[in-house]
Chains A and B, each alone.
Chain A
């Protein structure tokens, strides 16, 4: 059974296109030079509509996490880890930490992006302990 499937929009298509190539891309504002996640029409820092896609390191730190013992659909096998990852570039994103025992992870753990191919269109960014 497949996970709940994201549907790219014209705005977010570059994110998913880069993910298919196993690269993590987030928006960077060419006006105030800050990054943001998730993708938007405008920069939430300065309001400018001058956002460019930038491939980032894919490195990050665990801001917080939870070990889910129940799942919203049978596509998830429990237990699984859902985490807020703070990217080295600043923004935070929600993700899973995969191939990781709950005892191995803590707030502050260093992680590296990886990609979980759901199908030919969607490769979902997930993280592994670095």
Chain B
């Protein structure tokens, strides 16, 4: 995005809905609304201040933006339901800035909700596909678990080229669980994970084990975004959008990738950091989508935090954990905090709270700049967002 927009837009409010297992009486809409009302209240605004809706569709939603606007009683001037997988809510931040900049709206509400756990809709094979579609004809008949199998394919290639060992990803899983044990709303709160427990967890799609794979929970999240001038009048200190960049990787399924280990982060990372005017050493906190341990592994390399093939050492000795020098996924991540199908919004919720200093026992000291990076699909789309204090 245009560098002149760095710091011109701010996140004024964030919130989660109820998380974990919400029960059969709740719907995707109800979690979107709960998170939205909490985020609007967090900003000190009212529902009537919102004039732009950006919502990531849940599995059963056809026109969720229209439904959410109607339910909230909003005459939305912008209604965007861009769906590019788990990074959609990050792309919505970019779209919201573009929309406000173009005069289409003033206060953007970005939301997501899913009841996949209570509704029992998450299948290990993935969602069904039209048997005439490219995936229906040329992928589904082979029984690749989706999305687990796709990330397993990337992991095997990495193992072969760079000698990845089981404990390399184990360090990440263990550190992430340590963070979850500091987060009272994390699904795995009060449930420590040791390296030996990680190594004993069963293979699901070798070389990925159960403990390399995210939770299946319910949950929703929301973000309120507006111009910095307006955000200064809100209830909390604004968190600035310093830089943002997104890409879709011109593939939908992994055999279409030229190189399964080269992701869009190689482009979005430098673009977002350049817009923000920051370099790697300025970043105090990483929030990286971890539906699978493979995702942070590929992200830290492609974002340029280490050389290719060195990511396997990045997590060693609790480096990304509560006592480490590079705190990552401080909420407990998709691995141990919540994963209602799509995790993008929760990366931003946590980064904003850390920047505001609201995180109690898991608060990272002195956070000035946070980097959020999300994947969508199976390494198919990505967004990087740099957030900072005014």
Contacts of A80 in B (CB 8 A): 143
Q: Is B82 an interface residue (CB 8 A)?
A: no
Identify which of residues 79-130 in chain A touch chain B, using a CB-to-CB cut-off of 8 Å: 79-80, 82, 84, 92-96, 102, 106-108, 118, 124
Q: List 13 A-B contacts (CB under 8 A).
A: A4-B131, A4-B140, A5-B141, A7-B131, A64-B157, A66-B156, A66-B207, A68-B205, A68-B206, A69-B204, A72-B125, A107-B156, A118-B141
Name B residues whose Cβ lies closer than 8 Å to a Cβ of A: 123-126, 131-132, 134, 136-146, 149, 152-157, 160-161, 202-208, 253-256, 260
Q: Is the CB of A67 within 8 A of B132?
A: no
Identify which of residues 41-99 in chain A touch chain B, using a CB-to-CB cut-off of 8 Å: 63-73, 75-76, 79-80, 82, 84, 92-96
Contacts of A6 in B (CB 8 A): 131-132, 136-138, 140-141
Closest to A122 in B: B141
Enumerate the 5 nearest inter-chain pairs by beta-carbon distance, A residue then B residue, closest first.
Answer: A72-B125, A66-B152, A107-B160, A67-B206, A6-B137
**Option from B136, B157, B255, B260 in Cβ contact (under 8 Å) with A93:** B255
Cα distance, A76 to B57, chains bound together (Å):
31
Given A6-B131, A84-B255, A102-B206, check contact A68 B144 (CB 8 Å). Answer: yes
Contacts of B124 in A (CB 8 A): 70, 72
Contacts of B154 in A (CB 8 A): 64
**Option from A9, A79, A95, A102 in Cβ contact (under 8 Å) with B142:** A95
Given A82-B153, A92-B255, A95-B142, output 14 extra A-B contacts at Cβ < 8 Å.
Answer: A4-B141, A6-B132, A64-B153, A64-B154, A68-B144, A70-B124, A72-B125, A72-B126, A72-B143, A80-B143, A93-B255, A106-B160, A107-B160, A118-B141
Q: Is the CB of A8 within 8 A of B254?
A: no
Contacts of B253 in A (CB 8 A): 94
Contacts of A79 in B (CB 8 A): 206
Q: Is the CB of A82 within 8 A of B144?
A: yes
Nearest Cβ on chain B to A114's Cβ, whole angstroms: 14
Contacts of A12 in B (CB 8 A): 137
Cα distance, A74 to B202, chains bound together (Å):
19
Which of B126, B254, B255, B256 is packed against the most chain A CB atoms within 10 Å? B255
Which of B154, B161, B203 is packed against the most chain A CB atoms within 10 Å? B203
Given A6-B138, A92-B255, check contact A76 B206 (CB 8 Å). Answer: no
Nearest Cβ on chain B to A67's Cβ, whole angstroms: 4
Closest to B123 in A: A72
Q: Is the CB of B157 within 8 A of A63?
A: yes
Given A93-B138, A107-B160, check contact A66 B149 (CB 8 Å). Answer: yes
Nearest Cβ on chain A to B200's Cβ, whole angstroms: 14
Identify which of residues 6-56 in chain A touch chain B, using a CB-to-CB cut-off of 8 Å: 6-9, 12, 37-38
User: Number of A residues contacting the other chain (C-beta, 8 Å)?
Assistant: 38
Nearest Cβ on chain A to B322's Cβ, whole angstroms: 32
Closest to A6 in B: B137
Closest to A72 in B: B125
Q: Is the CB of B142 within 8 A of A94?
A: yes
Q: Is the CB of A94 within 8 A of B255?
A: yes
Cα distance, A7 to B137, chains bound together (Å):
6
**Option from B136, B141, B206 in Cβ contact (under 8 Å) with A69:** B206
Nearest Cβ on chain B to A125's Cβ, whole angstroms: 9
**Option from A64, A68, A108, A118 in Cβ contact (under 8 Å) with B260:** A64
Contacts of B155 in A (CB 8 A): 66
Cα distance, A124 to B179, chains bound together (Å):
46
Cα distance, A12 to B160, chains bound together (Å):
34
Closest to A66 in B: B152
Cα distance, A82 to B125, chains bound together (Å):
13
Contacts of B140 in A (CB 8 A): 4, 6
Q: Is the CB of B138 within 8 A of A94?
A: yes
Cα distance, A118 to B154, chains bound together (Å):
29
Cα distance, A92 to B173, chains bound together (Å):
32
Cα distance, A84 to B157, chains bound together (Å):
10
Q: Is the CB of A82 within 8 A of B142?
A: yes
Q: Is the CB of A96 within 8 A of B137?
A: no
Q: Is the CB of A70 within 8 A of B205?
A: yes
Given A4-B140, A7-B131, A95-B142, check contact A66 B205 (CB 8 Å). Answer: yes
